Amino acid sequence: MTILGETALWIALPVAFWGTAVSFAGGRTGRSELVLSGERTAYALTFLLLVASLGIVAAFLGDRYDYWYVANYSNRELDTYFKVAGLWAGQRGSLVFWTLLLSVFTTIAVYQNRARNREFMPYVAGTLLAILAFLLVVLLFAGVNPFERLGFTPANGRGLNPQLQNYWMTIHPPTLYLGFTAFAVPFAFAVSALLTNRLDSRWIAVTRRWILLSWFFLTMGIIFGMRWAYEELGWGGYWFWDPVENASLLPWLTATAFLHSIQIQQNRGMLKVWNMALVVGTFLLTIFATFLTRSGLIESVHSFAENLKIAYIFLGFMGGTAAFCAVLVVHRLPSLRSENQIQSFLSRESAFLFNNLMLVGIAFAVMWGTLFPLITEGLLGQKINVGPPFYNRVNLPMGLILLALMGIGPVIAWRRASRRNLRKNFVLPCGMAAATLAGLWLAGVRHGMALTTFVLAAFVMTTVVVEFWKGTKARARIAGEGYLVALRGLVRRNQRRWGGYVVHAGVVILFTGLAGSAFDVVQVHEMLPGESATIRSAFGHEYDLTYESLSHSRPRASDDVRENDWRWTALLTVRQGGEQVAVMRPERRFYPVMEEASTEVGIRSTVLEDLYVIPREVDLESGTERATFEFKVLPLVPWIWSGGVIVAVGTLVGLWPAAGAQSAARTSGGRRPASRLAASDAAGRAA
């Protein structure tokens, strides 16, 4: 199976080039048999890449250590579950996996459009196949072939990086990859629209779901990554502005901006060039993310060994794509002219525009910080890293403005809002914000940024709740329905709008959770078995932690490579008000073969806060079993994960197939639209 997989990978390369060539040629010359052959290439490539991926999985499951990739990312002791995940655990396999996902999305896009949007499809297929061909060139010629042999067979492999042996890590990379690769489809449609000069609203209408799908996976991938860092890295945080974390955030930021700005194009025929720039920019940033990880140019917990060959190939591809798209946009500028102008500063367009500026501003700041080590190395000869203080100082104010805009945008009218209208709609949200400020101030909260976040969160949440309440009430009254039926009908009628509000609610909860970090409580205790320590949270909850006992296995590295790890586990009991509420077993693991260590923290979650126990050190030599622990109480961290779930639900509402416009049309008969609108309008005026 493995040899067949390697053969399939080699066959895939000329196939991808064939598909690219015949698709573009078919579109250009109007030869439909070439177009069909190009579309078949997408199916064939998916099949070949599936065979190649199965070949890698078979090598992992069969402990084929004569393959460099398997020998470096697996060993005999590894669970089957992690052996399968070995496909995306290392650079080589993950590139194959990435290519496979892109081919699957290409296949879906081609199949979905086999009988519609036909004038776009030759170029859509050609663009996607060209990206696949590029990835296959990287795989086969940049020294990252996953089927490379060692020339000898080691008795055992090095094993999987212990930090990757975690549930979240098995789903975090694939989810992010799904987000990155799904965005290639809107990009391909944008390129096709530019090539065919079909620059009306169609390409946006066709790709809206793809954009949302990509955004959904990117969001979930980032949140899963945060959860992995929180559970596995053992420092009590979830985001460290690591270059590769940043690389996943960058396309998310521009994709979010794009999701908002396409609404302006659809509603007002504006920002067409800007939208093109955003779709191309977002696609390039998805490639930039993999470039950053795989080139190893910037040090990160995620990055692989430095590989300049890959770096140059990626840079060439990104540069070529950017130049090609820029030329296309300039060439089509007459068709991309704005049809309207912003009428007033007080309008939804304006709010969306500010939202775009903030998102792109944050993206620039993150990009600058991420590339700063490379820039300084080029200019000064040494890498200088910027840390979290830089990102926090620059991005927090912009993030707070974005939060405020989330409350303003949905309530303010399109085109032009009157001051009276604003007063009417903002009285209640502003009142709630003021009440929150007063309440928190009286409760003793003085942290400026956190206070601002909570106040803005109250403001935005009120606008969302009021929107739902008023909408449901109006629909219940108009349609004569009960409130629950009216709410369902309201959402089904405009899933994008109401799904978007749910996403906003999720983001507000997530932001609130992030702001909770201002009130973290941290204590370090050196304890003997039987000793206790007390920690009090920002909410006033008191936890008594008792170090009960210690267990440990194989405290020294063995010469036998199969004895690949040893660990010590502490047993702690947690009491509140004298009553035992939890038992924790934080653990430290050591992997002598890989010369690595990992920390399994103890976490006790409640609705308001997490109690987080980090095992630091233990004294096994003296026989006292004295251990050092770091105890943390982290307020509102569970809100981050709940907010993520709500964001997912909201996005799924937006993605869900709309309540058939067709079914509504079936009941409306075949009357002429003009007469009915005019009649309705006249009746409205008469009333």
Partner 1 sequence: MALFGGVLLAAGIMLYLLEPVLSGRSAPLYRGGDEHDESAARRRVALAALRDLEYDRATGKVDGEDYERLRTELSREALVQLEPEPTQGDSAVASASRALEDEIATIRRALREGLQCVGCRRLNDFGAKYCGGCGERLRTARATRSKSRNGERS
Residues from 90 through 119 that contact partner 1 (CB under 8 A): 114-119
- Quote the least distance from Cβ 183 to partner 1, whole Å: 23
For 548, the 3-state DSSP assignment is strand
CA separation for the pair 62, 311 (Å, rounded): 32
- Quote the least distance from Cβ 411 to partner 1, whole Å: 7
Are residues 566 and 553 in contact, defined by beta-carbon separation less than 8 angstroms? yes
Told to check if 681 binds partner 1 by CB under 8 A, we report yes
CA separation for the pair 338, 270 (Å, rounded): 5
At 448, the amino acid letter reads G
- Quote the least distance from Cβ 457 to partner 1, whole Å: 22
b/e code 301-323 from CB counts within 10 Å (16+ = b): ebbbeebeebbebbeebbeebee
- What part of residues 111-170 is at the interface with partner 1 (CB under 8 A)? 114-119, 121-122
- What part of residues 528-587 is at the interface with partner 1 (CB under 8 A)? none
Comparison of 15 and 195: residue with beta carbon closer to partner 1:
15
Told to check if 253 binds partner 1 by CB under 8 A, we report no
The pair of three-digit structure tokens given for residue 590, joined into one six-digit string: 């050591």
CA separation for the pair 189, 200 (Å, rounded): 12
Told to check if 474 binds partner 1 by CB under 8 A, we report yes
- Which one of 131, 417, 593, 614 is in contact with partner 1 (CB under 8 A)? 417
Told to check if 664 binds partner 1 by CB under 8 A, we report yes
Comparison of 281 and 410: residue with beta carbon closer to partner 1:
410
Comparison of 494 and 569: residue with beta carbon closer to partner 1:
494
Told to check if 8 binds partner 1 by CB under 8 A, we report yes
The pair of three-digit structure tokens given for residue 324, joined into one six-digit string: 């090609």
- What part of residues 279-338 is at the interface with partner 1 (CB under 8 A)? none
- Which one of 153, 201, 534, 558 is in contact with partner 1 (CB under 8 A)? 201
- Quote the least distance from Cβ 120 to partner 1, whole Å: 10
Told to check if 197 binds partner 1 by CB under 8 A, we report no
- Which one of 301, 333, 427, 479 is in contact with partner 1 (CB under 8 A)? 479
Told to check if 418 binds partner 1 by CB under 8 A, we report yes
Comparison of 416 and 604: residue with beta carbon closer to partner 1:
416
The pair of three-digit structure tokens given for residue 385, joined into one six-digit string: 């890293």
- Quote the least distance from Cβ 501 to partner 1, whole Å: 13
Closest CA to 532 of 466, 500, 576, 565: 576
CA separation for the pair 378, 552 (Å, rounded): 48
Comparison of 417 and 527: residue with beta carbon closer to partner 1:
417
Told to check if 427 binds partner 1 by CB under 8 A, we report no
- Quote the least distance from Cβ 24 to partner 1, whole Å: 14
Instruction: Choose one: 198-206, 217-225, 524-532, 554-562; the region binding partner 1 (CB under 8 A).
Output: 198-206
The pair of three-digit structure tokens given for residue 99, joined into one six-digit string: 């290519």
Closest CA to 634 of 606, 654, 671, 662: 606
Residue owning tokens 């040629």: 25
Told to check if 499 binds partner 1 by CB under 8 A, we report no
- What part of residues 376-415 is at the interface with partner 1 (CB under 8 A)? 411, 413-415
49-to-16, 109, 279, 450, 632 alpha-carbon distances in Å: 11, 17, 27, 48, 46
> Read out DSSP for 654-682?
HHSPPS-HHHHHHHHTT--HHHHHHHHHH
* Helix axes 121-141 and 32-61, enclosed angle (nearest 10): 40
